[in-house]
């Protein structure tokens, strides 16, 4: 009998974990759906940021944080974006997307940091230089 209870509790925990993951995926997809950066409203940006915040709960994947930084850049909140994505880079220094996000976030507020992020991204993916022959 005790084994059945343990198995039922384990199955319930697995279902709850699966539900949390599916909900996070849906929220992230909603927050990432396409938009025109010239016409997006502040309210829409805030709604998407809230969705990404919810996505981060119980989720070890840094993608929602990187997307949050990108939305903050669209909202001209570059310093906030730099802080968000710098946290990711500190936790995951080998994360190519995080370095690209830091490059994008820092370009207007901290050009030396943006250049460093570009160098790190190219170190992680040297073939990216060939994809952009117009860049040194």
The lowest-confidence range among 58-67, 71-80, 124-133 is: 124-133
pLDDT score recorded for residue 80:
95
Greater model confidence, 25 or 100: 100
Question: How far is Cα 9 from Cα 37, in angstroms, rounded to an integer?
Answer: 46
Position 99 confidence tier, pLDDT thresholds 50, 70, 90:
very high
pLDDT score recorded for residue 85:
97
- The class that CATH gives domain 2-131 is mainly alpha
pLDDT score recorded for residue 55:
79
In the chain, domain spans: 2-131
> What is the reported pTM?
0.70
Question: How far is Cα 92 from Cα 25, in angstroms, rounded to an integer?
Answer: 21
Question: How far is Cα 133 from Cα 125, in angstroms, rounded to an integer?
Answer: 14
């Amino acid at each position: 009998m005790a084994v059945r209870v343990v198995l039922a509790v384990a199955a319930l925990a697995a279902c709850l974990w699966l539900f949390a993951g599916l909900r996070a995926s849906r929220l992230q997809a909603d927050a990432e759906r396409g938009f025109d950066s010239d016409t997006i409203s502040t309210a829409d940006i805030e709604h998407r940021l809230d969705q990404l915040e919810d996505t981060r709960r119980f989720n070890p994947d840094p993608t929602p944080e990187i997307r949050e930084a990108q939305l903050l850049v669209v909202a001209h909140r570059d310093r906030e974006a730099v802080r968000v994505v710098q946290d990711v880079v500190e936790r995951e220094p080998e994360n190519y997307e995080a370095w690209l996000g830091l490059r994008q976030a820092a370009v207007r507020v901290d050009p030396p940091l943006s250049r460093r992020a570009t160098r790190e991204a190219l170190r992680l993916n040297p073939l990216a230089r060939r994809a952009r022959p117009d860049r040194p």
